[in-house]
Amino acid sequence: MVQTPERAATVTRLVSDIRVTVNGEEKRVPEGTTVAALVLSMNLRGPVAVERNREIVVRAEHPTTTLSEGDELEVVSFVGGG
């Protein structure tokens, strides 16, 4: 589905979801979702680091950082590498 800004705005009003981009993929999350809640919803094992709009959100601030419409998030962890 093509997401025009107009359509997105409509959806936002109707279900009070906001649109965020997580690791390059668009996601809808309830308004008021925190970084901690988002990470929890991903069912991940092990620690992650989060960048929001190109700024690191330190782990201590995950529970208090609320997502906003249009946020771009990177959720990363360590993998094997040289």
Partner 1 sequence: MNAATSPDSSLNDNDALVIGGRTFASRLFVGTGKYASVDETRNALRASGASVVTVAVRRVDFKERGAASLFGMLLEEKFDLLPNTAGCYTADDAIRTARLGRELSGSDMVKLEVIGDQKTLFPDVVGLLEATKVLVKEGFFVLPYTNDDPITAKKLVDLGCPAVMPLGAPIGSGLGIRNPYNLRILMESVSVPVIVDAGVGTASDAAIAMELGADGVLMNTAIAAAKDPVRMAFAMRLAVDAGRLAHRAGRMEKRLYANASSPLQGTIGSSRGHDALGIE
CB of 5 to partner 1, least distance (A): 25
Residue 80: C-alpha distances to residues 18, 52, 71, 75 (Å):
34, 24, 28, 17
**Binding characters for partner 1, 51-70, by CB under 8 A (x = yes):** x--x-x-xx-----------
Q: How many angstroms separate the CA atoms of 15 and 12, rounded?
A: 6
Count the site residues for partner 1 by CB under 8 A.
25
Q: Which residues contact 11 (CB under 8 A, 6 or more apart)?
A: 17, 19, 28
Q: Which stretch binds partner 1 (CB under 8 A): 3-11, 13-21, 47-55, 63-71?
A: 47-55
The residue ranges that bind partner 1 (CB under 8 A) are 23-24, 42-51, 54, 56, 58-59, 74-82
